Protein backbone atom coordinates (compact mmCIF):
# COMPACT_ATOMS: atom_id res chain seq x y z
CA UNK A 1 0.00 0.00 0.00
CA UNK A 2 1.36 3.40 -0.98
CA UNK A 3 1.99 5.97 1.73
CA UNK A 4 -0.51 8.79 1.15
CA UNK A 5 0.90 12.32 1.02
CA UNK A 6 0.90 13.94 4.44
CA UNK A 7 -0.35 10.73 6.05
CA UNK A 8 2.07 11.16 8.97
CA UNK A 9 0.92 14.72 9.71
CA UNK A 10 -2.72 13.69 9.58
CA UNK A 11 -2.08 10.66 11.81
CA UNK A 12 -0.41 12.93 14.38
CA UNK A 13 -3.26 15.43 14.18
CA UNK A 14 -5.92 12.72 14.57
CA UNK A 15 -4.24 11.13 17.60
CA UNK A 16 -3.49 14.48 19.27
CA UNK A 17 -6.98 15.90 18.70
CA UNK A 18 -8.71 12.73 19.85
CA UNK A 19 -6.58 12.41 22.98
CA UNK A 20 -7.15 16.01 24.04
CA UNK A 21 -10.76 16.04 22.83
CA UNK A 22 -10.16 19.10 20.65
CA UNK A 23 -10.97 19.81 17.00
CA UNK A 24 -8.63 19.52 14.05
CA UNK A 25 -9.12 23.27 13.63
CA UNK A 26 -7.73 23.83 17.15
CA UNK A 27 -4.74 21.56 16.50
CA UNK A 28 -4.11 23.45 13.25
CA UNK A 29 -4.24 26.76 15.09
CA UNK A 30 -1.91 25.56 17.85
CA UNK A 31 0.62 24.00 15.48
CA UNK A 32 0.54 26.59 12.68
CA UNK A 33 -1.48 29.59 13.77
CA UNK A 34 -3.78 28.64 10.89
CA UNK A 35 -6.99 26.77 11.71
CA UNK A 36 -7.36 25.49 8.16
CA UNK A 37 -3.96 23.78 7.79
CA UNK A 38 -5.06 20.18 8.41
CA UNK A 39 -8.35 20.71 6.57
CA UNK A 40 -6.37 21.68 3.48
CA UNK A 41 -4.26 18.53 3.79
CA UNK A 42 -7.37 16.37 4.25
CA UNK A 43 -8.92 17.80 1.10
CA UNK A 44 -5.91 17.23 -1.13
CA UNK A 45 -3.91 20.37 -0.48
CA UNK A 46 -0.26 20.35 0.38
CA UNK A 47 2.54 22.12 2.16
CA UNK A 48 6.27 22.63 1.80
CA UNK A 49 8.78 20.20 3.24
CA UNK A 50 9.88 22.97 5.62
CA UNK A 51 6.31 23.31 6.93
CA UNK A 52 5.92 19.53 7.29
CA UNK A 53 9.16 19.34 9.29
CA UNK A 54 8.10 22.31 11.42
CA UNK A 55 4.68 20.80 12.21
CA UNK A 56 6.22 17.40 13.03
CA UNK A 57 8.68 19.16 15.37
CA UNK A 58 5.78 21.00 17.01
CA UNK A 59 4.00 17.70 17.68
CA UNK A 60 7.23 16.21 19.02
CA UNK A 61 7.66 19.11 21.46
CA UNK A 62 4.00 19.17 22.57
CA UNK A 63 3.11 15.48 22.55
CA UNK A 64 1.28 14.40 25.73
CA UNK A 65 3.33 12.09 27.94
CA UNK A 66 0.35 9.77 28.41
CA UNK A 67 -0.21 9.28 24.65
CA UNK A 68 1.79 6.80 22.59
CA UNK A 69 3.37 8.32 19.48
CA UNK A 70 1.88 6.60 16.40
CA UNK A 71 4.24 3.70 15.60
CA UNK A 72 4.01 4.28 11.83
CA UNK A 73 5.36 7.85 12.18
CA UNK A 74 9.09 8.42 12.77
CA UNK A 75 9.56 10.61 15.85
CA UNK A 76 12.20 13.34 15.48
CA UNK A 77 13.38 13.30 19.11
CA UNK A 78 13.74 9.52 19.05
CA UNK A 79 15.90 9.74 15.93
CA UNK A 80 18.16 12.33 17.62
CA UNK A 81 18.61 10.08 20.68
CA UNK A 82 19.53 7.10 18.48
CA UNK A 83 22.19 9.13 16.69
CA UNK A 84 23.74 10.47 19.90
The helix or strand, by DSSP H or E, that contains position 80, with its residue range, turns out to be helix 76-83
pLDDT digits (tens, 9 = 90+) for 35-75: 999 999 999 999 999 999 999 999 999 999 999 999 999 99
pLDDT digits (tens, 9 = 90+) for 16-28: 999 999 999 999 9
Whether this prediction's pTM lies above 0.85 is answered by yes
Helix 7-20, helix 49-62: angle, nearest 10 = 30
Amino acid sequence: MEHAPYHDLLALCDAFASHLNISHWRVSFLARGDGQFFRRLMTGGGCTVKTAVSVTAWFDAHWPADLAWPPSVPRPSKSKKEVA
